[in-house]
Structure 1
Amino acid sequence: MKPIDDIPQPKQSLLFRITTNLTFWVLIAILAGILLGHFYPATAVKMEIIGTWFVKVIKVFIAPIIFLTIVLGIAGMGDLKKVGRIGLKSLIYFEVVTTFALAIGVTVAYFMEPGKIDKAGLNMQNPSKYTQDAKAFSWLQFFLDNITLQVLLAAIIVGVALNYYKKREQAIGVLYTCSKYVFLALKWVMYLAPLGTFGGMAFTVGKFGLHTLIPLGKLMLTVYITMAIFIFVVLGSIMKYYKQNIFTFIKYIRAELLIVLGTSSSESALPNLMEKLEKMGCSKSVVGLVVPTGYSFNLDGTSIYLSMAVIFLAQLYNVHLTFGEIVTVIGLLMLTSKGAAGVTGSGFIVLASTLTAIHKIPVEGLAFLLGVDKFMSEARAITNFIGNGVATIVISKSEGEFVDVDKPIVEAD
């Protein structure tokens, strides 16, 4: 009798493979959301609750996943010197790459001048709110409001402490079992991704409409072009140096990118990214350390957007910034942008604090960004997402913790 594996399996039709692929349904959801938002905006706006609900459910998993992966990553290595080396190497990489992102954002915005546009039709919306946020900004409060940073710190402490625990192996076994069930539960939740994507896209198009983007279209175009340059030139060059291909990697994570696009949140696909990086060949311990840390310290897309927003507002108000002031802006954003992804609306707080520090650009100008911020959030999230994936590959390669697969990486359906 032949083993089960040797028995020929019925060949699945192309239609069956397509219709059972999550990517297919996410694409359908995006298209449906756009159509509903365009033709029935009033109904589409009500779909916001679906997209918001999905992201909230996903965020429930973020804290335990970050905690478990970092603790297991540190405790699993057993070598605290190695943990410290990888951590330091990651932070240096994050700072260098995000500084490049900030510099690219400032340079492109300076020469393309997206702020020199017609200001007619833009409404100021409670500008005093942002002035108040800028004055009230506190690093302590920023940390207290940022659950990602809190969990990150707690996980590092627990992971280090486990290395001195007598029953370390037993504790790791329990945590590994917990991690397994958390990821299993998340796998089932991800089948709802098309619903979340539909809700997010329908609300965005229905609420703002394409006509509202005309006055700020140049800014949007500039942001998207800049992020494309960063992804394919900067990150592409880094990947090429480590004998990887940025286009192949993007194709490999295309399903996750579509989820990020639909929900405007890179957090919604974080667990899937970690799983795929491991399948690609990255060490589980490195993935567990670098990816969660990158979500607070490696925000390439956010850095590009924040730097371009400052230059945009300066141009909008015809404020001339000297070279020294531009360098100051980059320096401030290098610090204030860290952890910005973990706090709702923190992008505006970071911009407000930066504008207040340089004392030249009216903080009230942030109201001009409200209309298009939602549309640019997709670009920020996708760039952050790809950037963290590349960072993990780089650290894995540099540590000799990357196992090259025999064939090109492909989508895991």
Structure 2
Amino acid sequence: MTRYVRGCVVHAPLRGCIELFEDAFLSIDLSTGRITAFHAEIEPTDLDLLSKAPSSEILHLPEGQFLMPGFVDTHVHAPQFPFMGTATDVPLMQWLDKYTFPVERSFEDPKVALKWYSTLLDMMLTQGVTTAQYFATIHVEATKILADLVELRGQRGLVGLVSMDRNAPDNYMSSSVGKCLADAEEFIQYALGKNNELVKPVVTPRFVPTCSPELMKGLGALAKKYDVHVQSHIAESRDEEAFVETLHPGRRDAELFEEAGLLTQKSCMAHAVHLKEDELEIMRRTGTAIACCPLSNFFFANGFLDVRKVLDKNVGVGLGTDIAGGYSPSMLRAIQTCVLTIKALEIQEGTSGAPTQPFDFKDAFWLATMGGAKALNLEEDTGSFAVGKCFDAILVDVNRGRNLVFSERDTPLDVFKKVIHNADNRNFVQVFVKGNMVYENVEV
């Protein structure tokens, strides 16, 4: 069966370049979920196809609606969802002990995991997040539940069982390196056993302070053995860096991760705010990407990630909400905050009047879509619209929600810009992953 789409389509296949087609045509093979035709302007043969196709196979977008790629959230702490919107009052290391570890520990109960992960996934889809990379907890059964729910909801999810064997509460870390590695391997095999390209396991050492060198090397071996993704936190905050210095004098995160075999083409490390030049070179050389989390960086990172500099070094970058260090699940908010971060850096540099490296909504939108797909090594499947890619999309209606203001002078690009700056998930009518509608907003 085929689905045909006619109407306005917007995407950013390249950084800083918004392509907006007012009357485009797409066809999607629903048996594979992949795009089989994409024409920037509708062609006579397309009109002929549409005239013969049943109305049930046609998505015809009226004025005021357009399609854009689904968002890619490269960093989400799924079990922290219960306290999202609170707990921004202490530095990172205190925050873990005071808020995070107690809540995550409660996910030992499968009923708790089922309740909160179900609610989280429902919200993520309402926010147009078609792909997400999740930290779970140390609990194998709870993490399997998260993977099951990702599969059930039809989202594209990279799911990681968290590994920790030191510097965490006794009742919230593994008893030994062997137990950690056995749990990690059990979950990897479980996720791979689904044979579902939408659900992928991720090797997930929480960060250097909670992972012994032996554990990190063992996890690196697992990542290589199964050829799976890797995620962690790297150079996130000043207090985290100070802790690493006490554990590994004279050494830093990037070299420790590389030594363990955890920096690969499939690695995406969160934050990276305090990486030095030589560490950025390690990231580039190994093909490791960064999950930029601009909102949580304001609260916990003691600094900003200059994505302009990172991209200029040919290091991949995607955006992340970082629930719950980031208090909003909205990727639109992440886009906006990313731009504000660069504006703050321009003020610090004294270049705000004439920035040497202009950065605006176009760049941040690319980070939230194609940049994120590249950061997760998924650019062949998602992030933009192209023949052969999966149809991962958000149907936007600018007239929903009564939250946008337009004038007769607005160009189509102006309308899109207003959506990026002023819209919210009330404007997301339908969300598609691999050709399947995974969310529909039935509210009027």
Superposition TM-score, scaled by structure 2 size: 0.24
Instruction: Compare the two structures and name the one with the higher helix fraction.
Output: 1
More relative contact order in 1 or in 2 (CA 8 Å, sep 6+)? 1
